[in-house]
Structure 1
Amino acid sequence: MPVPTAILEALPARLHEIPRRQLASRPEAPALIENGVVWSYAELVAAAAEARDWLRSVGVRGGDRVMLVGENCRALVAMIFALSELDAWAVIVNARLSPREIETIRSHCAARRVVYFSAASTEAALHAQHVGAEPLSVGRLGELALGELDLTCLPEPVQADSARQVAALIYTSGTTGSPKGVMLSHRNLLFIARSSSGLRRLRPDDQVFGVLPISHVYGLSSVCLGTLYAGACLQLHARFSATETLRALAEDGISVMQGVPAMYTRLLEVCGEAPRHTLRFIYAGGSPLDPALKQAVEARFGLPLHNGYGMTESSPTISQTRMDAPRTDVSVGPAIPGIEVAITDDEGRPLADGEVGELRVRGPNVMLGYYRNAELSAQTVDAAGWLRTGDLARREADGALFIVGRSKELIIRSGFNVYPVEVESVLNAHPAVVHSAVVGRAVAGNEEVVAFVELRDPTQASAEDLLAYLAERLSPYKRPSELVILPALPAAATGKILKSQLRQLAQEGAIAGQ
């Protein structure tokens, strides 16, 4: 159901107001921790003010796009709030992208300036060096590097309405093709920050594990902004390490952890039967959760592993399981309060509960559109505000959603529908398998199923072993025509598997003979 108007009116107008909410009553409360250094809420606000003044001095105006190239760090968070105060757009880019990818984004968004967080990221420092960016020191933010001023950059109009003013331009990870710049408004991100804070029941004394990249909307709105919205403390980590995560969970008082399934897979590989921790809430999102992984994590950590679903275009959260109603299946839960969802056929007609169709969503979390691509924006969000997710789902009578797969990933083999997630779930249950990814490959008049697998130990199973395993558990039309074992599946910085690369690999025949 639509969100009550009073809730939207109670949201702050801009992102930078989030940390300021704590100044009157809790200025010295910890806001961010990075490598043992603590910033209070007062220090975070002061750092954002320093960054604002510096950005203004180097020519940044309202409506400008400013690229932030780095990894999770205090300076990056402060810079996002500084850009909010200037009404400039934060184009947050993970430093682990290649120089070509970063240049593609810079050119597309026509960034006025590029800021490299060189002190916190070796890759950011290398990118800065590659383009000859100027090394600088900026107050509490420390060492940065600044790219040249783009005098051809034209500012976008500044909107007083928080629902119309862009706060962040997030480029998709490319899992479904070429990256697209998703325009997210202040209200988009603030609505999800408030929702995430409430659904996690965050308290000011919570310590939240912040390893998901802030360059990804999951790490930005749900983890970072959601934590600060509640006045809790975010412990920033630039990169995921299973051993370092286990140490932090045992020693640093972490109470809340949000991750992607790949992170939990790695944790299980290195942790003992009952790892020490102070967690009260764990959550997986960003990619499909396998039933076997959910059961294993819950057995080791003694907590329900909550699940959810979203996408960059919805800021990102669409649905989430509830803390007071944990599930034993891999449902992504009901829609979050305040948004509408519908399961439809190809013509947009609603389907009954239990039927598989495209999931559509409408609400204050839906993007403004794709930057400089009005045609694709209109195809994705209709005139009534419904976002076409491109994902296939079904809804049960109790409102719980189950994601079946992407409509573009649907494989039609000899007239039968094959949903990759179903094959992947069976493969991932094999004790030798770390990850799997299933894609379709076009052949004359038909499609084939191709599976890619990453093993814990290459000596534990062969492709033939896994095909025999599947033959006992899947209908013939669902079984892969080919199964390829890779040293590691290609993945984005968030851990999401890059299926576009695997589809290309399968289609080009590069796997022949393996």
Structure 2
Amino acid sequence: MPSLNQNLYAALRAAFPADLDLTAIETGDGPGAPLHYTWRDLERGSAMIANLLASLALPPASRVAVQVDKSVEALMLYLAVLRAGHVYLPLNNAYQAAEIEYFVGNAEPAVVVCAPKAFGWVSKIAFQAGTPHVFTLGDDRSGTLLDRASFHGDVQDPVARRADDLAAILYTSGTTGRSKGAMLTHGNLLSNARVLKDYWDWKPGDVLIHALPIFHVHGLFVASHGALLNGSRMIWFAKYDPKAVLARLPEATVFMGVPTLYVRLLGEPGLDRQACRNMRLFISGSAPLLIETFTDWQQRTGHTILERYGMSETVMLTSNPCKAADGERRGGTVGFPLPGVGVRIVDERNLPLPPGEIGNIQVKGPNVFKGYWRMPEKTADEFTDDAWFKTGDVGRFDADGYLSIVGRSKDLIISGGYNVYPAEIEGVLNEMPGVAESAVIGVPHPDFGEAVVAVLVPRPGEPAPEPAAVIAALKGRIANFKVPKQVFVETELPRNAMGKVQKNLLRDRHQGLFAA
């Protein structure tokens, strides 16, 4: 393996333990569980798939689009694509035909891998778009990908890549128009993984519970790279079952989840300090963590969740401290910029704002993506003249440097000429009796331009909040222009696969509320 090879897989492989027959991954659920995969299995399995890809004589840096159920073999496929020098394109397994048609048409992958049950419709889309190769991969180790790979050798030298070469394209959720493919390089991913290994104090003997999907930054890069780069065993869950995860917590030291996973674990009577006795670190991200969840977790487990902030285009940007010497983990914040990452808060003219003032979050660093796939104008629009990336998020720094995310700039409500930040109102609503969580949106209004509307979810077992009483209570706590014109009570908020509230769907639902 050439020492100058900056292929991400080469760095991950160098971190494998000396004894390759140790367990790397143990499945906690799924067909045949528990299954034990050694480090040698990961090395050999990914080599065979990489050799299969090499046998197809694909152009260098071809895209490999993957829409499969979570499995260890799916992780091997990701590693194989890196090894083979191609570009990995993970797709949410909830995507339907129209979405897959767009992604395949836009990315023009040379290879598509799908679940066996989806082969009929996915292959039709792929072949019509000119994709020459379609394979299947099931979560039970079935499918043509593994069948074909079994005929290839289990030794392979990773194809030489530069740090600036593409490793993956992640399509953003596309809530404000066409989905954009964020181009991440080998260098982007490796630099971030190395920073997190140090900042989150990964130790020899750490064991990760991997309960996240692997079509997203959080599960595929942050969690998987973290364990692989530390030579750490993973306990692997294909589907999230809080009871099953709780049963394995005593064997683990690190857990990464979205807020919904923590809420569901809090619903388990067995969650207590004893269950978490060997845990070192609980990390939350991908969506805002309610302060109530943060506090309840502290009280039940004795652990303080570490909240961090990142996005598809940048991997991780900030984190609350891991080590006590670096400071406290402060609920409602996402901590400090990671080493080597620049974060600034600016006004509409890109001028820096002082601590305490709300503005647009812009970032810079080796983790920031190369641009949007085949969208040079969009890429240029999203970077400032001095090369800072405009995240589209709105936030503020506290006086002592902690960053708080106030919301997305597209979620900003301008009502009667005043700026209204939904997160501020949601923070007040979530403290009210009977309110489990809330979402605040802006909808068209003939007089104010936009009107503030709140959607509440009641707490189980408590009387549902009364909209008129909620509005009356808010009038005593926040400025009148921030008070919702209407409040709705619903059983749940619409969310995407990573637990983020889909406010675009709420806006669509209430679009005509104030129509003449």
Do both share a fold (TM > 0.5)?
Answer: yes
CA contact (8 A) 2:181 2:373 kept: yes
Does the alignment pair 1:332 with 2:334? yes
Aligned partners of 1:282 and 1:306 also within 8 Å: yes
Residue 486 of structure 1 corresponds to 490
In the alignment, the residues of structure 2 paired with residue 136 and residue 401 of structure 1 have an alpha-carbon distance, to the nearest angstrom, of 44
1:259 is matched by which residue type in structure 2? G
CA distance in 2, matches of 1:160, 1:209: 32
| Partner-residue secondary structure (3-state), 2:215 | coil
What is the distance in 2 between the residues matched to 1:164 and 1:439?
A: 39
- CA shift for structure 1 position 296: 1.1
Match for residue 458 of structure 2 among 455, 460, 476: 455
- Give the alignment partner of residue 86 of structure 2, picking from 77, 85, 88: 88
Match of 1:369 in 2: 371
Partner of 1:3 in structure 2?
none
SS at match of 1:16: helix
- 3-state SS of the aligned residue for 1:348? coil
Deviation at 1:126, TM superposition (A): 3.1
Give the equivalent residue in structure 2 for 1:269.
267
Percentage of matched positions with identical amino acids: 32
Instruction: Please name the residue that 1:112 is paired with.
Output: 110
Could you tell me which amino acid in structure 2 is paired with residue 255 of structure 1?
Answer: T
Q: Cα distance, 1:459 vs. partner?
A: 6.5
Match of residue 143 from structure 2 = 144
CA distance in 1, matches of 2:4, 2:429: 44
1:416 corresponds to which residue? 418
Letter in 2 for 1:442: P
Letter aligned with residue 166 of structure 2 = V
Task: Give the corresponding residue for 1:248.
Answer: 248
In structure 1, the residue matched to 2:306 is 306
SS of the residue 1:196 aligns to: helix
The one-letter code matched in structure 1 to 2:464 is A
Q: Is the 8 A contact 1:353 1:397 kept in 2?
A: yes
Quote the offset at 1:11 in angstroms: 10
Contact 1:90–1:169 at 8 Å: present in 2 too? yes
**What RMSD over aligned residues (CA atoms) do the two structures have, in Å?**
2.8
1:248 and 1:241 map into 2 onto residues whose CA distance is: 11
Question: Unmatched 5+ residue regions in structure 1?
Answer: 1-9, 119-124, 147-158
| Alpha-carbon spacing, 1:401–1:139, altered in 2? closer, same or farther (3 Å) | closer
Q: Tell me which residue corresponds to 1:291.
A: 291
Out of 377, 380, 386, the residue aligned to residue 378 of structure 1 is 380
Q: Does 1:498 align with 2:489?
A: no
> Which amino acid counterpart does residue 117 of structure 2 have in structure 1?
L
How far apart are 1:398 and its partner, in Å? 2.7
Residue equivalent to 1:152:
none
Is contact 2:88–2:168 with CA below 8 Å preserved after alignment?
yes
Are the aligned partners of 2:6 and 2:187 in contact in 1 as well (CA < 8 Å)?
Answer: yes
Q: Which residue of 2 aligns with 1:25?
A: 18
Counterparts of 1:119-130 in structure 2, within 5 Å, are 125-130=116-121
- Residues 63-212 of structure 1 aligned to structure 2 (within 5 Å): 63-116=61-114, 118=115, 125-131=116-122, 142-145=141-144, 162-212=162-212
Where does residue 256 of structure 2 map in the other structure? 258
326 and 108 in structure 1: CA distance in 2 versus 1, 3 angstrom threshold: same
CA distance in structure 2 between the partners assigned to 1:193 and 1:12 by the alignment: 17
Q: What CA distance in whole angstroms lies between the structure 2 residues aligned with 1:166 and 1:383? A: 24
Q: What SS does structure 2 have at the residue aligned with 1:221?
A: helix
Q: Structure 1 CA distance, aligned partners of 2:23 and 2:390?
A: 40
How does 1:233-244 map onto structure 2 within 5 Å?
A: 233-244=233-244
Cα–Cα, structure 1 residues 434 and 178, in superposed 2: closer, same or farther, change >3 Å?
A: farther
After superposition, the Cα gap between the structure-2 partners of 1:220 and 1:131, relative to the gap in structure 1 and judged at 3 Å, is: closer
Q: Distance in 2 between matches of 1:361 and 1:480?
A: 32
**Matched-pair contact (CA < 8 Å) for 2:210–2:234:** yes
Q: Which moves more between the two structures, 29-38 or 487-496?
A: 29-38
- Counterpart CA distance in 2 for 1:27 and 1:273 is 34
1:336 is displaced (CA, Å) by: 0.2
- For residues 304-333 of structure 1, what are the alpha-carbon distances to aligned partners after superposition, in whole Å with 9 as ceiling and x for unaligned? 111111111112334443332223442211
**Structure 1 segment 439-450 matched on structure 2, within 5 A:** 439-446=441-448, 447-450=450-453
Matched residue SS, 2:208? strand
Partner-residue secondary structure (3-state), 1:378:
helix
Question: Shift in Å at residue 136 of structure 1?
Answer: 6.9
Deviation at 1:140, TM superposition (A): 12
Which one of the candidate residues 459, 473, 478 is aligned to 1:474?
478
1:399 Cα deviation after fit: 2.2
Correspondence list, 1:6-45, <5 A: 13-23=6-16, 25-34=18-27, 35=29, 36-45=34-43
Alignment CA distance shift 1:58-1:38 (3 Å): same
Does 21-30 or 46-55 show the bigger shift? Answer: 21-30
Name the CA shift for 1:126/1:482 in 2 (closer, same or farther; >3 Å).
Answer: farther
| Pair 1:310–1:19, CA change in 2 (3 A) | closer
In the alignment, what sits opposite 2:129?
Answer: none
| SS of structure 2 residue aligned to 1:361 | strand
Aligned AA for 1:298?
A: Q
Quick one: structure 1 residues 46 and 433, their matched pair in 2 at CA, closer, same or farther if it must change by over 3 Å?
farther
- What residue number does 1:122 align with? none
CA contact (8 A) 1:29 1:40 kept: yes
Number of equivalent positions: 481
